[in-house]
Amino acid sequence: MDALTLMDMVSAEEHPDQFKNFNWTGSFESYLDMVGNDPRIARTAFQRIYDMIMSYGTSNYKEYKKSITHYNFFDDPVEDGKDAVFGLDVHLMKLVNVFKAGAQRYGTEKRVILLHGPVGSSKSTITRLLKKGLEAYSRTEDGALYSYTWHNLGDILKMEDDMPCPINEEPLHLIARDRRKEVVDKLNTSLDRLSAVYVEGENCPACRYVFNELMKHYKNNWRKLITNHITVRRITLSEKDRIGIGTFQPKDEKNQDSTELTGDINYRKIAQYGSDSDPRAFNFDGEFNVANRGMIEFIEVLKLDVAFLYDLLTASQEHKIKPKKFAQTDIDEIIIGHTNEAEYRKLQKNEFMEALRDRTVKIDIPYITKLKEEIKIYQKDFNSTSVSHIHIAPHTIEMAAMWAILTRLEDPRKANLTLMQKLKLYDGKTTQKFTEDNIKELRKEASREGLEGISPRYVQDKISNALVIDKGNGCINPFIVLNELESGLKEHSLISNDEARKHYTELLAEVKREYEDIVKHEVQRAVSADESAISKICANYIDNLKAYIQNEKVKNPYTGADEEPDERLMRSIEEKIDIPDSRKDDFRREIMNYIGALALEGRSFDYKTNERLHKALELKLFEDQKDTIKLTTLVSNVVDKETQDKISVVKGRLVKNCHYCEICASDALNFVASIFARGGVTKQNN
């Protein structure tokens, strides 16, 4: 590809109209007309972030009989899922409700929002996503926001001719306080509380100085001042350009200075203006200043020096900051901090920080406890697109995720429930024994669940390591990854005692047993995937079932004689799914009732529509055919051609139906063969 073609590709992305929109300027009167037509332009920071989230849409679903809202924004549509957050809908609902309450001025706009959870639980990701979302939203027409610039100041005030508002204030702040109510009431005539316009606070010290001096010059003629010296301009939020997005990270005490938050004196300009208390000789570039109209992130907020935490008190409650040698300055921004469990416990014990605790809204961001959601984290990084040179065997990521979830769950108090069963219940696999109400109880009794355990980062690191080492010669399987996870436990920096390490190792053994059941079942299905053979067994079973229920005889297709229903055949199928002899009549009536209901609807019975019967028929066919395929011969060195042909068919089914490759299909067959060689059972555990 030549250079010209590349240049054409780059220039094709330029949009002159878009540039013009982003750099719009106009008079204050034009801005008032725009606000009159669309009051959303003058939204507060909380209104803006809530509208931004809602602009991407929502979906609803039921969980434990409770309605849950999923906000599409947290799928990261801005960057095609790069920072997508999985499995935390309930907690993200709480966060969005805080934004909504703040947008309606119910009090949470005066709080520090604290994301609290263990390391690696996506606190930073959520904050990064919010900042990214605000940036993108400000570049849309719906998310447009504006500030102002002072012009023609040189002759009157003996300073630079142009001065943009240093903290990008809302232009409506230029309206005198005694006229604001009248203007705001008119704008809010037909608006609800969520969309209402709020104009609070004064201009920043620099703008206030210029405004007052110009009012003296024009003998209190506000209209003349605004007409001659104010240009409204559109702004787009940007963390990199320090416009509306601020970030503060704690440093050691010697290098930590509160001016990083509230700005500092510009010593070069003191000589020009004669005083360090002249606002023109001050840089309003602290993180609180630049974050005005948007949000500020405090990384590991509770590691801040106490002096910094005091700044948070007035910034949150009063929406004011105190720059050095100036009066308190009004700000409008969302303050979000995040912290881990250990730091939060220290805050709770510190009696001197009661004021901060009282001004904090804590949102728990725990680890995921749903298997299918945890799997999504790893599939995002380890998929066929990102890992094209090595095949990842089926269930490899699932087993790693399963172990991670098990480490986060508390042992169930119910004696008849295992930790693995609890994991499956949380993942949506309810049974007759355990209903949604039972699962809700399990959630309530486990108050620490998700706040401890293994981080997704550890699992990601070990999967990465397995891919690099490539012990499977082109394909990694669950055992390779699980062994990597186990070997890394010795050096894991967050495992503080041998008891926890032993517990995690035992959970790995539990996951390996679960995988053994899964792979056995898949091989069984591949062996018994002959649909015509299953249909034949099914038809035979249904004929005998009908005769049994209706107390009739069955006609022998070969001799033509009437015979009793084949109890041995029926039980050989029912036992495959653990139907006890005492329950066989109930199961058989259930099947007959199902067939009858379909007949009333004019539909014929298909064994595939009944999951339990389908599984039983597959296991029965496998039982009948496994000896002809002779899986146990796989562990020997000699396999006859007939058996090899049958095994090739089974491998082909694993590749086609279950996404195995040649390597892991052979590994799976050899593994299952070794189980049968040592007398392993054939029945899939329920």
Instruction: Mean pLDDT check: name the lowest of 71-85, 412-426, 518-532.
Output: 518-532
In this predicted structure, what is the pLDDT of residue 604? 82
In this predicted structure, the answer to whether residue 365 has a pLDDT above a threshold of 70 is yes
The Cα 225–Cα 231 span in angstroms is 11
Chain-wide mean pLDDT for the chain? 87
In this predicted structure, the answer to whether residue 467 has a pLDDT above a threshold of 50 is yes
Confidence of residue 384 (pLDDT cuts 50, 70, 90): confident
Q: Are 378 and 462 in contact (CB under 8 A)?
A: no
**DSSP letter, residue 412:** P
In this predicted structure, what is the pLDDT of residue 620? 81
In this predicted structure, what is the pLDDT of residue 140? 94
CB-side neighbour CA atoms (13 Å) of 512 = 14
Q: Are 519 and 647 in contact (CB under 8 A)?
A: no
Query: Which among 654, 623, 662, 642 is positioned nearest to 526, based on CA atoms?
Result: 654
**DSSP letter, residue 636:** S
Q: Are 368 and 472 in contact (CB under 8 A)?
A: no
In this predicted structure, the answer to whether residue 311 has a pLDDT above a threshold of 70 is yes
Q: Are 315 and 335 in contact (CB under 8 A)?
A: yes
In this predicted structure, what is the pLDDT of residue 112? 94
Query: Which among 344, 439, 364 is positioned nearest to 94, based on CA atoms?
Result: 364
In this predicted structure, the answer to whether residue 564 has a pLDDT above a threshold of 50 is yes
pLDDT (mean) for 479-497: 88
**3-class DSSP state for residue 661?**
coil
pLDDT in tens, 450-462: 999 999 999 999 9
In this predicted structure, the answer to whether residue 405 has a pLDDT above a threshold of 60 is yes
In this predicted structure, what is the pLDDT of residue 632? 53
218 or 636, greater pLDDT: 218
The Cα 479–Cα 485 span in angstroms is 10
Residue 148: strand pairing partners: 232
In this predicted structure, the answer to whether residue 354 has a pLDDT above a threshold of 90 is no
pLDDT (mean) for 297-315: 83
CB-side neighbour CA atoms (13 Å) of 180 = 14
Q: Which long-range contacts (CB under 8 A, 24 or more apart) does 587-595 make?
A: 588/545, 588/548, 588/549, 589/549, 591/542, 591/545, 592/545, 592/546, 592/549, 595/542
In this predicted structure, the answer to whether residue 411 has a pLDDT above a threshold of 80 is yes
pLDDT (mean) for 401-425: 91
Query: Which among 90, 86, 95 is positioned nearest to 66, based on CA atoms?
Result: 90
The Cα 542–Cα 540 span in angstroms is 6
In this predicted structure, the answer to whether residue 658 has a pLDDT above a threshold of 80 is yes
Confidence of residue 684 (pLDDT cuts 50, 70, 90): very low
In this predicted structure, the answer to whether residue 203 has a pLDDT above a threshold of 70 is yes
In this predicted structure, what is the pLDDT of residue 91? 96
In this predicted structure, what is the pLDDT of residue 252? 67
User: Which pairing describes strands 295-298 and 245-248: parallel, antiparallel, or unpaired?
Assistant: parallel
pLDDT (mean) for 25-46: 95
**DSSP letter, residue 318:** T
Query: Which among 322, 452, 467 is positioned nearest to 388, based on CA atoms?
Result: 467
Residue 147: strand pairing partners: 233
Class (C level, CATH) for 20-366: alpha beta
**DSSP letter, residue 297:** E
Instruction: Mean pLDDT check: name the lowest of 148-152, 309-313, 396-400, 539-543.
Output: 309-313
In this predicted structure, the answer to whether residue 559 has a pLDDT above a threshold of 80 is no
Query: Which among 529, 557, 532, 561 is positioned nearest to 543, based on CA atoms?
Result: 557
| Structural element, H or E, at residue 609 | none
Six token digits for residue 554: 């069955």
Phi, psi of 288 (to 5 degrees): -65, -40
Residue 96: strand pairing partners: none
126's CB contacts (< 8 A; 6+ apart) are 74, 85, 92, 95, 115, 365
In this predicted structure, what is the pLDDT of residue 98? 97
In this predicted structure, what is the pLDDT of residue 682? 43
| Structural element, H or E, at residue 68 | strand 66-71
Residue boundaries of the structural domains of the chain: 20-366, 371-525, 529-625
604 or 489, greater pLDDT: 489
Query: Which among 147, 50, 56, 66 is positioned nearest to 104, based on CA atoms?
Result: 50
Distance of alpha carbon 105 from the chain centroid: 27
Which ranges of 12-160 does DSSP label H, i.e. alpha helix?
16-22, 28-37, 45-54, 89-103, 123-138, 154-157
Confidence of residue 362 (pLDDT cuts 50, 70, 90): very high
Edge-to-edge order in the sheet of strand 145-150: 25-26, 230-235, 145-150, 163-164
The Cα 402–Cα 377 span in angstroms is 12
Q: Are 535 and 607 in contact (CB under 8 A)?
A: yes
Range from 2-6, 375-379, 571-575 that averages highest in pLDDT: 375-379
153 or 178, greater pLDDT: 153
In this predicted structure, what is the pLDDT of residue 476? 93
pLDDT (mean) for 138-159: 94
**DSSP letter, residue 326:** S
pLDDT in tens, 501-549: 999 999 999 999 999 989 988 887 787 766 777 888 888 888 888 989 8
Other CB atoms within a 10 A radius of the CB of residue 65 amount to: 9
pLDDT (mean) for 473-478: 92
In this predicted structure, the answer to whether residue 254 has a pLDDT above a threshold of 50 is yes
pLDDT in tens, 205-245: 999 999 999 999 999 999 999 999 999 999 999 999 999 99
Range from 103-107, 349-353, 355-359, 498-502 that averages highest in pLDDT: 103-107
Confidence of residue 679 (pLDDT cuts 50, 70, 90): low
In this predicted structure, what is the pLDDT of residue 11? 65
